[in-house]
Amino acid sequence: MTPRQKRFVLIGLGLVALAVASMLVLNAFQSNLVFFFTPTQVANAEVPTGRGFRIGGMVENSSLTREGDGLTVHFVVTDMAKRVPVTFKGILPDLFKEGKGVVAQGQLGADGTFIASEVLAKHDENYMPPEAADALAKAKAAGAQSSNTLIVNPR
């Protein structure tokens, strides 16, 4: 091979490798994106079915219940406009608390319960996860009722 041909082969190989790598990356990227939705969006059925997503908001006060196995918990995530019941089996993170912000990842069950595979609360005492804060702000902006009336008014 002449040096010129060699260079072409090298560049060609590089391009092929680059194309394969980009395809691989973008494909994996597409199928692993996790979208975030607010409880209002869940209630309006704007969420994908059969695919995981994240919800965020506040853990409603005194909504946390524990099943007999000590591991399965139920709680309600609210953006002060709409409420989504959540079921999670496992150990909740240290910073999970009623009346505090939370983000959960999982799928929506057939009965409208969000089945969480992961509950994230990696923030400190005074800090709200931005997703959760965003959900609350959006619901507020949409002209929802003020928070107090909703908490004493379960479905």
Binding site for another protein (CB under 8 A): 3, 6, 9-10, 13-14, 17-18, 21, 24-25, 28-29, 32-36, 54, 66, 69-71, 89-92, 94-95, 105, 122-125, 129-131, 134
Of the candidates 40, 41, 60, the residue with the CA atom closest to the CA atom of residue 153: 60
Q: What's the min distance (Å) between Cβ of 23 and another protein? A: 11
Residue 77's identity, in one-letter code, is V
Q: What's the min distance (Å) between Cβ of 39 and another protein? A: 14
Four-residue CA torsion sign, 151, 147, 150, 80? negative
Pick the closer one to another protein by CB: 55 or 150. 55
Pick the closer one to another protein by CB: 119 or 150. 119
Q: What's the min distance (Å) between Cβ of 144 and another protein? A: 19
Q: What's the min distance (Å) between Cβ of 34 and another protein? A: 5
Pick the closer one to another protein by CB: 38 or 150. 38
Distance of CA 31 to the CA centre of its chain: 15
Pick the closer one to another protein by CB: 29 or 155. 29
Rounded Cα distance between 122 and 131, Å, is 12
**From residue 105, how far is each of 12, 15, 130 by CA, in Å?**
42, 38, 15
Of the candidates 85, 87, 83, the residue with the CA atom closest to the CA atom of residue 66: 87
